[in-house]
Amino acid sequence: MTGSLIGHWLRRAGSLAICLFVWQMASSLKVSLGIVTFENVPSPVDVVIAMLDFLASPRLFAHVSSSLGRVFAGYAIAAAVGVALGLIIGRFRVLGDFLQTPLELLRPIPAVAWIPLAVLMFPSSELSMIFITFTGALFPIVINTVHGVESVDPRLIASARSLGSTRAAMLFEVIIPGAAPNIVTGLVIGMGTSWFCLVTAEMISGQFGIGYYTWESYTLQNYPEIIVGMVVIGLLGMASSALLKAAGTALLPWNKKEGRQ
C-alpha cells in the first residue's frame, strides 16, 4: 500500500471520527441550538449497542431479505425499462417527442405521492412496494441513457453508416458502447434512489423490511434503533452502488480516467 493511499484512508477515517465525536458530545450535552436540538437524539454509543442487539437478533435476516427482494425486483424492472426507453428517446426523435413529455411530467412526483395510487393499482402491498422502488430508479436511468445516446460522437455514427452498418450493428456496436458510461452512471444513481424510496415503500403496509423496522422504531420510541435502520439502509445502498461501479469499471475499460491529484 503506497503512502498516498494510506493518507487517503487516514483522512477519511479521521473525518468520520470527528463526526462521531461531535455527535457524541452534542447528544451527551443535549445541545440545543434553537432551531435544532439533540435532547432526544441517541448517542453513537447507544446506537452501537442497539446495532449489536439487532445483528444478534433473528429479525435481522427477515428485515434485510425482505428489503433486498423489494429493492432488487423494482430496480431490475426499472433498469430494463429505463435503458430501453432511454435508447428509444435518444435515438428516435419522433418517438422521443411522444414519450418524453409524459415522463417529464411524472419525474418530479415524489415517491410518497405515488403511495395512494400504488395501493389502488396493485392487488397486493408487496407489488405496491416494488412499484415505489421502481419509480425511484426509473427516471435517473432514463435521463442518463438519453444523455449518453445523444452524446455519442456523430463522426462514429457517420463512419458506421458509410461502412454499411445495419440498424442492429449500429445499435449494439456504436450507440450502446458509446452511451455505456452514462448508462452505468444512471444505473448507479438509480440504485441509490431505490434504497431512498424503500422507507416510503415499506410504510405502505410492510411487516418486514429495514424501512418498516425504522418506522416501527420511531412509533415505539426506540430512538437508537431508528438510527440503526438508517445505518443499515445506508450500508446496503452503498454496497449495492459500489458493486455496480466495480462492474461498470470492469465492463468498460475504455472509460477509465486519470486519478485525481
Query: Both 91 and 181 in a single domain?
Result: yes
Q: Quick check: 216 and 128 in contact, CB under 8 A? A: no
Mean pLDDT of 185-189: 91
Query: Both 26 and 2 in a single domain?
Result: yes
Angular region, 221: left φ>0, alpha ψ -120 to 50, beta rest: left
Residue for grid cell 411487516: 207
State how many domains the chain has.
Answer: 2
Mean pLDDT of 39-57: 90
Confidence band (pLDDT; 50, 70, 90) for 259? very low
The values of phi and psi at residue 37, to 5°, are -135, 150
CA distances from 92 to 96, 199, 207, 232, 259 (A): 6, 36, 44, 42, 36
Residue for grid cell 409524459: 102
Confidence band (pLDDT; 50, 70, 90) for 198? confident
Query: Both 176 and 226 in a single domain?
Result: yes
Query: Residue 80's pLDDT is what?
Result: 95
Query: Both 112 and 49 in a single domain?
Result: yes
The candidate with the shortest Cα–Cα distance to 233, out of 51, 79, 58, is 51
Q: Is residue 170 predicted with pLDDT exceeding 80?
A: yes
Query: Both 154 and 195 in a single domain?
Result: yes
For position 170, which CATH number holds? 1.10.3720.10
Query: Both 26 and 90 in a single domain?
Result: no
Query: Both 100 and 151 in a single domain?
Result: yes
For 6-30, what is each residue's pLDDT tens digit?
888 888 899 989 998 998 898 888 8
Query: Both 57 and 20 in a single domain?
Result: no
Task: Tell me how far apart the alpha carbons of residues 138 and 197 are, in angstroms, rounded to a whole number.
Answer: 12
For 218-251, what is each residue's pLDDT tens digit?
888 888 999 999 899 889 888 988 898 888 888 8
Residue 37 pairs in a beta bridge with: 32
Q: What is the CA radius of gyration of the chain?
A: 22
For 107-161, what is each residue's pLDDT tens digit?
888 877 888 888 888 888 888 889 999 998 999 999 999 999 998 888 888 888 8
Sign of the C-alpha dihedral computed for residues 42, 46, 48 and 49 taken in this order: negative
Query: Residue 49's pLDDT is what?
Result: 92
The candidate with the shortest Cα–Cα distance to 218, out of 207, 230, 206, 208, is 230
Residue 26: give the domain boundaries: 1-39
Residue type, 213: Y
Query: Both 242 and 123 in a single domain?
Result: yes
Residue for grid cell 494510506: 6
Using CB atoms within 10 Å of the CB of residue 16, give its burial: 0 to 12 exposed, 13 to 18 middle, 19+ buried.
exposed
